[in-house]
Amino acid sequence: MINAVIAAVGVMLVLSLCRVHVVIALIVGALVGGLTGGLGIDATLKAFNSGLGGGATVALSYALLGAFAVAIAKSGLAHALADRALTMVDRHHASGGGRVKWLLIGLLWVVAIASQNILPIHIAFIPLLVPPLLYVLTKLQLDRRLIACVITFGLITPYMFLPVGFGNIFLNEILLANVARSGVDISGINVTHAMGIPALGMLVGLGVAFISYRKKRVYDLAKIERVEQVAVQYNPLSLMVAGVAIASAFVVQLLLDSMIIGALTGFLIFSASGIVKWRETDDLFTEGMKMMAMIGFIMIAASGFGEVIKATGHVQSLVETSASWIGHSKAIGALLMLLVGLLVTMGIGSSFSTVPILAVIFVPLCVQLGFSPLAIVCIVGTAGALGDAGSPASDSTLGPTSGLNVDGQHHHIWDTVVPTFLHYNLPLLAFGWVAAMVL
* Sign of the CA dihedral running 235, 236, 237, 239: positive
**pLDDT at position 425:** 95
Is 140 in contact with 190 (CB distance < 8 Å)? no
**pLDDT at position 234:** 67
Least Cα distance to 160 among 437, 388, 426, 394 occurs for: 388
> Which residues, other chains included, contact 132 with Cβ-Cβ below 8 Å and sequence gap of 6+?
72, 73, 77, 78, 81, 228
Using the CB atoms, write b or e for 172-192: b if 16+ within 10 Å. eebbbebbbebebebeebebe
Is 154 in contact with 119 (CB distance < 8 Å)? no
**pLDDT at position 91:** 64
CA distance 240 to 257: 25
DSSP secondary-structure letter at 141?
T
CA distance 317 to 321: 6
**pLDDT at position 112:** 92
**pLDDT at position 67:** 78
Is 388 in contact with 345 (CB distance < 8 Å)? yes
**pLDDT at position 299:** 76
User: Which residues of the chain fall below pLDDT 70?
Assistant: 1, 55, 78-79, 81-83, 86, 89-97, 228-234, 291-292
pLDDT in tens, 86-126: 677 666 555 556 778 888 899 899 989 988 877 777 777 88
Q: In this structure, which amino acid lies at residue 16?
A: S
- The SS3 assignment for 267 reads helix
**pLDDT at position 211:** 96
What is the separation, in whole angstroms, between the first and last Cα of the chain? Answer: 36
**pLDDT at position 319:** 73
pLDDT in tens, 203-239: 999 999 999 999 999 999 888 877 765 555 667 887 8
Q: In this structure, which amino acid lies at residue 44?
A: T
**pLDDT at position 265:** 87
Using the CB atoms, write b or e for 150-162: b if 16+ within 10 Å. bbbbbbbbbbbbb
**pLDDT at position 53:** 76
**pLDDT at position 379:** 94
DSSP secondary structure letters along 224-244: HHHHH-TTS---HHHHHHHHH
CA distance 249 to 72: 12
